[in-house]
Amino acid sequence: MINENQVKGKLKEIGGKIQEEFGDAIDSPTQEAKGKATKVEGKVQKTAGDVQQNVEENLDDAARRPH
């Protein structure tokens, strides 16, 4: 199941990409850099969400195994 960090991270990544492209279109290195930073922040947050999901799935699997 998808968790909050995965969703928020992906949305932040998309927003950063849009900001980066906008900065490029208006020839603004500052906006481009801010967009790249936001995109990276989103990727990190999404990765954290992926790790969280993996841990939760592994814990659920371990809990279901007979002892």
Q: What is the pTM of this model?
A: 0.85
Q: Which pLDDT score, from 0 to 100, does residue 66 have?
A: 81
Domain coordinates in residue numbering, the chain: 4-64
Per the CB < 8 A criterion, the answer to whether 22 and 33 are in contact is no
Compute the distance between CA of residue 5 and CA of residue 37 in angstroms, rounded to an integer: 17
Q: Which pLDDT score, from 0 to 100, does residue 24 have?
A: 97
- Dump pLDDT digits (tens) for 2-57: 999 999 999 999 999 999 999 999 999 999 999 999 999 999 999 999 999 999 99
Q: Which helix (H) or strand (E) covers residue 23, if one does?
A: helix 4-25
Tokens 């849009």 sit at which residue? 18
